[in-house]
Amino acid sequence: MEEQASEVIVATQAALTQASALVVQYSFSVIGALLLLVLGWWLAVLLSRWTHTALMRIRGLDETLARFFAHVVRYGILILVFVTALGQFGVQTASIIATLGAAGLAIGLALQGTLQNIAAGIMLLVLRPFRVGEYIDTGEISGTVVDIGLFATELKTPDGLYRLAPNSILWNVPITNYSREPTRRFELKIGIGYDDDIELAETIMRKHAEADTRVLRSPEVSTFVDQLGDSSVVLTLWYWTKAGDFWPTSREMIKKIKTSFDENGISIPFPQVTYHGFAPPVSLPRQSEDAEAKTA
């Protein structure tokens, strides 16, 4: 009995000694891991703020893009700190990094379309082919830009409809920006009759354009004969306005010129087609048939 009791005591003392050693060993590991996580979190937040501040100092860089890169820096540091903290407990970090790489590849393949939109969104925010408040047209999508995100762009159509366009669609097609340039040229083509006075018509068109205060004096207003059509002589009017005055000026200009043409007897002919008909020839009886008839 005494021998068994002594063996139990010895085993207990050995277990306690081993447990205390493990506690001391892992206590330092836990404390080190906690300190590493706290310092890593603080460093991630600090570098994220520095990145955002530095990018915002770049002229023309969008805030959305600055926030995106700031978040990339922050979460990249946090992942690195987390993997390093696991190494404090003897975990093989190489296998973790390989697993994270494989998971990232799988996620990238699964979200291929989404990643294309993100890449296109970054390019749109960097190159800025359009900005918020500008009117654009891609042939299939048109409207005023409301917001440019990393995944999609929000637009508002002229008739008040909401439209959400993926960035990959906007990046892969030619874009016409109607609001980027400060001035625009308006071109008006009007066909008048061949018997009408061309000089009078051009004078009327220039007079209305030059009298409008929204029409710019430079480049100057110009008119010319554009072409000789099938049923009319086509005259062209060119003038320049500010981009914001383009539509109201053009609508009023068309109305004023049409009214003045009516008052001065200048016609605007519509296409006409003239058909020329020919009567069929009258068939005459043959002489032989007449002779036979007389003989009979």
pLDDT of residue 259: 93
CB 122 within 8 A of CB 150: yes
Structure tokens at 171: 């990046």
- What are the tens digits of pLDDT across the range 63-78? 666 777 777 788 788 8
pTM value?
Answer: 0.57
pLDDT at residue 256, as a whole number: 94
pLDDT at residue 34 greater than cutoff 60: yes
Strands in the chain per DSSP E: 135-137, 142-148, 152-156, 162-166, 176-177, 183-192, 222-228, 233-242
Going by pLDDT thresholds of 50, 70 and 90, the confidence category of residue 61 is: low
CB 140 within 8 A of CB 96: no
pLDDT value, residue 41: 81
Domains detected in the chain: 2-110 (1.10.287.1260), 130-177 (2.30.30.60), 183-263 (3.30.70.100)
Query: pLDDT by residue (tens digit) across 93-105?
Result: 566 666 666 666 6
Cα-based torsion angle of the residue sequence 48, 50, 52, 54 in order, rounded to the nearest 10 degrees? -150
**DSSP tally for the chain: helices H, then strands E:** 8, 8
Give percent above pLDDT 90 in the chain.
Answer: 30
What per-residue confidence (pLDDT) applies to 171?
87
Please provide the average confidence, as pLDDT, over all residues in the chain.
Answer: 78
Q: Residue 201 pLDDT > 90, yes or no?
A: yes
The answer for residues whose C-beta is within 8 angstroms of residue 60's C-beta and 6 or more apart is 128
Lowest mean pLDDT among 38-42, 124-128, 270-274: 270-274
